[in-house]
Amino acid sequence: MSAAPPAAGAPIPAPRAAGRTLGELFARGHDNNFNLLRFLAAFGVLISHSYPVVLGIKANAEPFAQRIGYTLGGIAVDVFFVTSGFLVTASLLRLDDIKAFTRARALRILPALLPMALLCALVIGPWFTTEPLSHYFSRADTWKFIVKNATIVTGWKDKLPGVFDDLPLAHAVNGSLWTLPFEIRCYAAVAALWFLARRLGSGTARRFGLVLACLTGALLLAFWIAHRVDYRHWHTFRLFFMFASGALFQVARERVPMNHAIAAVLVLALAASVVLPAGFFWIYPPVVGYLALYAAYVPGGVLRQFNRLGDYSYGIYIYAFPVQQSLIASFPSITVAQLMAAGGAITLALAMLSWHLVEKRALRRKPRRALEFADAPENPPPSQGEAASP
């Protein structure tokens, strides 16, 4: 009996690869390590931020930055964007509806932002501001902070009147939020690309995949060139490339073998680029996507039990920075290690509250077809250098 034709949102048809493919692993649904991977990435950002929050950004004291010119937080950002591109594109293909897709994205991004913005503006701000409270609450910037950061679509706002003015990272209340507008632009770009592919008639999946492959290659080239010439906004190309590469892995998942040999070769290449840092930015961008998805799908066993705890990565992302700034403002002599420990504990508590009281409830309102898919919180935190210079 002949096989049924692929659905409209199916990836590009391809011969079955030898061994397990990414498509086979993806078909297992929730049986993966995405929650754990994002959790570790979120804490990687918290660890990375602890150095400049205590010592100032000019100290460049973070070990990764000293060795390869790239922070642990930057690597975590890339992992978030790759996994976001992979999972968000799957959601788009499954829903096959721009309105439903937009609603699903909004329900994942927006609900947790309002409590965070209120906490920063109405609790942290009044406690730490050096201005009279009457002046603080009469300033338009205080209320703009809430509106901008709770909606994020039109951008973000990092300053509150008189708050954290004398810290090593002066004026920054929640520098991590700068990546969210980039994330939303990536959503819009992939949705627009899919919409145009649909409008052109049959062969939607193949056309979408071909254009996406060309776009990903062009973004990688632009990333390399922009970094090479030290273009001020080279991170823009980097973030779009990471998201696009994740999306391309999704579309071509049936063609991508996932095995230990490939992962080992890529790890060795990456290790060599750390030993010889001049090659890091040439080797790292093309390999990080495969290694992130390998980590998400291949290791099994007890690691999968982490999924029972919940998905706290988004909460860690949006609360870590203001918590760390509050701690350094309260205890100016705190060490980097102490900030990691105290900031991690407080941030995790807030993230757990955010997940159980806000995020999980909002996700129940997602379109039914989106709920059938193991969706992810697609919100990468930035490296500290980017947070200070958006």
Examine the pLDDT at 389 and tell me if it is beyond 70: no
Using alpha carbons only, what angle is made at residue 188 by residues 184 and 189, rounded to the nearest 5 degrees? 115
Rounded mean pLDDT, 18-43 = 89
The per-residue pLDDT for range 306-340, each reduced to its tens digit, is 988 989 999 999 999 999 999 999 999 999 999 99
The angle, 0 to 180 degrees and rounded to 10, between the axes of the packed helices 72-95 and 280-297 is: 50
Rounded percentage of the chain residues whose pLDDT exceeds 90: 73
Among 344, 348, 343, smallest CA distance to 327 is for 343
The per-residue pLDDT for range 195-246, each reduced to its tens digit, is 998 888 777 888 899 999 999 999 999 999 998 898 888 899 999 999 999 9
DSSP 129-193: -SS-HHHHHH-HHHHHHHHHHHH-TT------TTSSTTSSSTT-S-GGGGHHHHHHHHHHHHHHH
Which one is predicted more confidently, 378 or 292?
292
The confidence band for 380, taking pLDDT boundaries of 50, 70 and 90, is very low
CA 160 – CA 151 distance, rounded (Å): 17
Instruction: Supply the pLDDT for residue 369.
Output: 57
Instruction: Supply the pLDDT for residue 385.
Output: 37
Instruction: Supply the pLDDT for residue 198.
Output: 86
The confidence band for 378, taking pLDDT boundaries of 50, 70 and 90, is very low
Instruction: Supply the pLDDT for residue 60.
Output: 78
Using alpha carbons only, what angle is made at residue 228 by residues 227 and 231, rounded to the nearest 5 degrees? 50
The per-residue pLDDT for range 100-113, each reduced to its tens digit, is 999 999 999 999 99
Instruction: Supply the pLDDT for residue 382.
Output: 38
Please give, one letter per residue, the 3-state secondary structure of 287-330. HHHHHHHHHHHCCCHHHHHHHHCCCCHHHHHHHHHHHHHHHHHH
Average predicted confidence (pLDDT) for the chain: 88
What is the pTM (predicted TM-score) of this model? 0.88
Query: Residue 174 in contact with residue 149, Cβ under 8 Å?
Result: yes
Rounded mean pLDDT, 118-141 = 97
Coil, helix or strand for 71? coil
Rounded to whole angstroms, what are the CA distances from 204 to 6, 13, 209, 229, 299?
Answer: 11, 12, 8, 37, 34
The per-residue pLDDT for range 333-354, each reduced to its tens digit, is 999 999 999 999 999 999 999 9
Tokens of 308: 């029972």
Instruction: Supply the pLDDT for residue 230.
Output: 87
The per-residue pLDDT for range 146-193, each reduced to its tens digit, is 999 999 988 899 999 999 999 999 999 999 999 999 999 999 999 999
Instruction: Supply the pLDDT for residue 11.
Output: 46
Coil, helix or strand for 21? strand
CA 85 – CA 77 distance, rounded (Å): 12
Instruction: Supply the pLDDT for residue 4.
Output: 44
Which helix (H) or strand (E) covers residue 26, if one does?
Answer: helix 22-26
